[in-house]
Amino acid sequence: MSNFDISNFFDVVVIGSGIGGLTAGALLTRYGKRVVVCESHTIAGGAAHSFRRRGFEFDSGPSFYCGLTGADSLNPVKQVLDILGESLNAVGYNPLGHYHFPENSVPIYSDNYLYLQEVAKVTPQGATELKRFIDKMLPLYEAMKGIPTIALRSDWQLIPILLNNYLPSLLKMLPNLPLIQSSVGNVMDTTVKDPWVRRLIDLECFLLSGLKAHGTIIPEVAFMLGERSKAGVEYPVGGSGAIVKALVNGLESWGGKLLLGCHVEQILVESRQVVGVKLTNNQIIKAPIVISNATVWDTYTKLLNAHELPASYRHKALQTPTVDSFMHLHLGIRASGLENLTGHHVVIHDSKQDITIPGNTCMISIPSVWDASLAPEGHHVVHAYTLEPYAGWERNEEYEAKKQLKAQTLYKALERIIPDIRERVVLELIGTPLTHAHYLRRYQGTYGPAIEATKGMFEGASTPIKGLYRVGDSTMPGIGVPAAAASGILCANTLTSPDIRKNISSINNRGM
């Protein structure tokens, strides 16, 4: 950030270059605002950033994506990239992964017909019940399909937009309204008795929201089932960092600024109105609008003084429960003899333990099977992770030993896929909740808010402070790359007149 003159006037300062921050920043730039994005880390992308060690390109977090490239994709990331004039290359694959239970392993296909066929091999009655469950979910997806996220905003002006442009889809939505805030568990209870399939549904929900079926809202799962079956599952060439790069390109090519290694110390507020931000080096960037991509806990404890928010509002926001953090194992391994290796696996070690118990459910991603450029020739890049509570972790003399010990559950999971994994390792990086919290600047290294269906809702972009907005996975619609991108869209659209957006989409449709 050395050559950058921060005394310039900006319309908007975005704190953080996670998917939510980049999306909001890039769209607002595209809509004509002067935007600067300040990122603490030296790499953009937050949880979705990629990092390189000794020729291996690692995803720090996400690796599972639908609809990154298809023309009619509903993925908000794709919709934003279209507006920015950016695109991605991606590799499609199916099955989307293998779920390894103690008693069997099952390939999970994106298309529901093949998915059900595989389940029928384990439990024919369960497959019939699962079909009934999916059939209850898909009408909501069909209704949501007609209203693209890119058209939405989070204030009253949404109502005329919906009525004028999306009336048929709204009418389709009406019979599904009771499903919108209901839990997946409620539908599962009325359609599925088979215990194997109930655990499968719990697992699918857990992988998505960090909560089982009774905690997960229906639109999240309806969207996942519909989108993976319709748009297919894809991995971005270049890794998750390629998505971040495309958003950064979009931001910069329309004139926005990204400052890396630029930590915001404080949001500046005068008379309940945002006036800018103060950086770690005491420099000040002035702007009438500040968008925080830091989590709700970080924004309201570290970036604002307590007295700047209404006490009851602040108290309630900070009471938002958290999903645990993670143990990560990033490995570079020798690939010889692994020609049939597939890229995504979920391993459950013990059926008698709940799937949410830290260490019991392990997620594995080996993206070099889709994109060989991510590893040196003859090698694969591996990321395995599992939930781990933040409490109890300290950088003391026991830290290294605890790290090694806790990584063993991940090695054991990997041995289900690659039995001689330990002999293949050429590079090992173990991350703990402290690593996660440090690099991603996330409170207690959390995956995100644990807001259970029917017990609360994610907050929208607005805050009680004039000019201060929030985006990212502790705002509506929640956790995940598409959801964080959707939060950025909702925020950017709320700050922009529908006419400006209409003009831009008509220019885009004519071809630029």
Ligand X SMILES: Cc1cc2nc3c(=O)[nH]c(=O)nc-3n(C[C@H](O)[C@H](O)[C@H](O)COP(=O)(O)OP(=O)(O)OC[C@H]3O[C@@H](n4cnc5c(N)ncnc54)[C@H](O)[C@@H]3O)c2cc1C
Q: How far is CA 270 from CA 235, 260, 419, in A?
A: 45, 27, 60
Residues in the chain: 512
The residues near 6 (Cβ < 8 Å, ≥ 6 apart) are: 36, 279, 283, 284, 285
**Would you say 126 or 480 has its CB closer to ligand X?**
480
Q: Is 61 in the site for ligand X (CB under 6 A)?
A: yes
Options 15-23, 370-378, 420-428, 499-507: segment touching ligand X (CB under 6 A): 15-23
From the list 146, 92, 494, the residue with the least C-alpha distance to 291 is: 494
Q: 83 φ, ψ to 5°?
A: -65, -35
Give dist(CA 352, CA 382) in Å, integer: 28
Among 10, 39, 79, 112, binds ligand X (CB under 6 A): 39
Give dist(CA 507, CA 512) in Å, integer: 7
Question: What residues numbered 378-417 form the site for ligand X, per CB under 6 A?
Answer: 385
Q: Is 293 in the site for ligand X (CB under 6 A)?
A: yes
Binding mask 148-187 for ligand X (x = CB under 6 A): ----------------------------------------
Options 214-222, 420-428, 455-463, 479-487: segment touching ligand X (CB under 6 A): 479-487
Among 12, 25, 40, 333, binds ligand X (CB under 6 A): 40
Options 61-69, 129-137, 210-218, 243-251: segment touching ligand X (CB under 6 A): 61-69
Among 29, 33, 46, 140, binds ligand X (CB under 6 A): 46
Q: Is 220 in the site for ligand X (CB under 6 A)?
A: no
Among 461, 481, 486, 491, binds ligand X (CB under 6 A): 481
Whether the link from the prior residue into 95 is cis, omega within 30° of 0, is: yes
Please answer whether residues 109 and 118 qualify as being in contact, where contact means their C-beta atoms are separated by less than 8 angstroms.
yes
Please answer whether residues 267 and 447 qualify as being in contact, where contact means their C-beta atoms are separated by less than 8 angstroms.
no
**Would you say 185 or 343 has its CB closer to ligand X?**
343
Q: Is 480 in the site for ligand X (CB under 6 A)?
A: yes
Q: How far is CA 292 from CA 107, 179, 225, 319, 486, in A?
A: 40, 31, 31, 19, 15
How many residues interact with ligand X (rule CB under 6 A)?
38
Helices marked H in 183-331 — which ranges?
184-191, 195-209, 218-230, 240-253, 296-298, 311-318
Q: 477 φ, ψ to 5°?
A: -95, 0
Q: Is 245 in the site for ligand X (CB under 6 A)?
A: no
**Would you say 176 or 435 has its CB closer to ligand X?**
435
Q: Is 96 in the site for ligand X (CB under 6 A)?
A: no
Give dist(CA 510, CA 507) in Å, integer: 5
Q: Give the count of alpha carbons within 13 A of 447, CB side only.
A: 24
Please, what is the minimum distance in Å from the beta carbon of residue 463 to ligand X? 16
Q: Is 264 in the site for ligand X (CB under 6 A)?
A: yes
Q: Is 12 in the site for ligand X (CB under 6 A)?
A: no
Among 263, 314, 402, 412, binds ligand X (CB under 6 A): 263
Binding mask 426-455 for ligand X (x = CB under 6 A): --------------xxx----xx-------
Q: Is 17 in the site for ligand X (CB under 6 A)?
A: yes
Among 13, 27, 33, 63, binds ligand X (CB under 6 A): 63
Please, what is the minimum distance in Å from the beta carbon of residue 511 to ligand X? 30
3-state secondary structure of 72: coil
DSSP β-bridge partners for residue 363? 346, 385
Contacting positions for ligand X (CB under 6 A): 15-21, 38-41, 46-48, 61-64, 263-264, 293-294, 298, 303, 326, 385, 440-442, 447-448, 472-473, 479-482, 484
